[in-house]
Amino acid sequence: EDQVTQSPEALRLQEGESSSLNCSYTVSGLRGLFWYRQDPGKGPEFLFTLYSAGEEKEKERLKATLTKKESFLHITAPKPEDSATYLCAVSSSGSARQLTFGSGTQLTVLP
């Protein structure tokens, strides 16, 4: 059974204070790792897909990286509008038709 653990559960940063969110996973054959952003009362918004260890993707102040056991979402010089819950999900060869989600990290960026 695939497992995804995200840490920390909540993170408060000052504007401009860079940090990283962690997503640890246990799967039987990773097919893809996905990052989403979810604002309160809204559905998750797709950010990145990573397929293999060593892969990196960037979008504005966000950079996602992947190793064989975990993924990091690095946030550089965050702004208040980056405040949201960030979700990590995996798809594996053991459950190719499903995404397994973590519980998310709630990020608050203070002005």
Tell me which residues touch another protein (CB under 8 A): 4, 31-32, 34, 36, 41-46, 49, 87, 89, 91, 96-104
Q: Whole-number minimum distance, CB 16 to another protein, in Å?
A: 29
64 in Cβ contact with 73 (< 8 Å) = yes
Measured from the CB atom, the residue of 44 and 78 that comes closer to another protein is 44
CA distance 48 to 68: 17
Please identify, using beta-carbon distances, which residue of 19 and 32 lies nearer to another protein: 32
In this structure, are strands 84-92 and 30-38 parallel, antiparallel, or unpaired? antiparallel
